[in-house]
A and B are shown apart, each in its own frame.
Chain A
Amino acid sequence: MKTKVKELRTAAGLTQQQLASQVHVSARTIISIEKEQYNPSLMLAYRIAEVFGVTVEDLCCLRENRELEDRRYENLP
């Protein structure tokens, strides 16, 4: 899933390890989220959103991701 974690983290001047420590996960989890290999849980998304002062909807690009998912469902046989 596409997120704005990398964009917001870089803008805030935080390292992956610093963000990981603030939200109580490993740095590897932050790396995976930024690489779009792992979808954070609702609670983790909320914690990260709180760190950057944005909403979960904005952080996780929910509108954009929903449209992508809708298109995938429309293409189902």
Chain B
Amino acid sequence: MKIYHKKNFAAGLLALAAGTGILLYSLWNGFSLYNLLWTGNFFWLGCKALEHSLSRELTHEDLVNERDERNRLLSMRSKSLTLSITQYAAGITGIILASIAKWVEYETPLTYIGLSLMLVWLFILFVQSSVYRYYDKRS
């Protein structure tokens, strides 16, 4: 037996361990549908990842997909768009919540959530500009 894809193999083992953990927890504390679903999911994912990591053909297919230039571009684009959406959603929600707090003129949990979201927005802005400067210098 040869492991062709170590990352997939480790992920498979981790998923099986998580499934076993939930199963043991259920044995100890009683079964619920929610726990059974998670156990089933983890076992299925774990077995699938192990099967892929131990098969030469499936590993080849996985590596081609991982290294495929279009897939990498799509991954970068989707991450970039996700970051932009998160950034603007945090900023706008933060401003709305802070405005509501100002309007009602007393501190509510919304005030702190709003301020935290505005901090998240500023943090993303700072990290983004730092990373941009880093890559700008390197290339």
Q: State the A residues within 8 Å of B (CB).
A: 24-26, 28-29, 32, 38, 40-41, 44
Q: Return the chain B residue nearest A44 by Cβ.
A: B69
CA distance A38 to B73 in the complex (A): 10
B residues contacting the other copy or chain, number (CB 8 A)? 8
Q: Return the chain A residue nearest B63 by Cβ.
A: A24
Which residues, 1 to 36 on B, are CB-close (under 8 Å) to A?
none
Shortest distance from the beta carbon of B61 to any chain A beta carbon, whole Å: 9
Question: Are B70 and A29 within 8 A (Cβ)?
Answer: yes
Question: Are A38 and B67 within 8 A (Cβ)?
Answer: no
Contacts of A24 in B (CB 8 A): 64, 67
Given contacts A25-B64, A26-B65, A29-B68, 8 further A-B contacts (CB under 8 A): A24-B67, A25-B68, A26-B68, A26-B70, A28-B68, A28-B70, A32-B70, A41-B69
Interchain residue pairs with CB less than 8 A apart (16)? A24-B67, A25-B68, A25-B69, A25-B70, A26-B64, A26-B65, A26-B70, A28-B68, A28-B70, A28-B71, A29-B68, A29-B69, A32-B70, A38-B73, A40-B69, A41-B69
Q: Return the chain B residue nearest A29 by Cβ.
A: B70
Q: Return the chain B residue nearest A40 by Cβ.
A: B69
Shortest distance from the beta carbon of A37 to any chain B beta carbon, whole Å: 9
Shortest distance from the beta carbon of B44 to any chain A beta carbon, whole Å: 24
CA distance A32 to B74 in the complex (A): 12
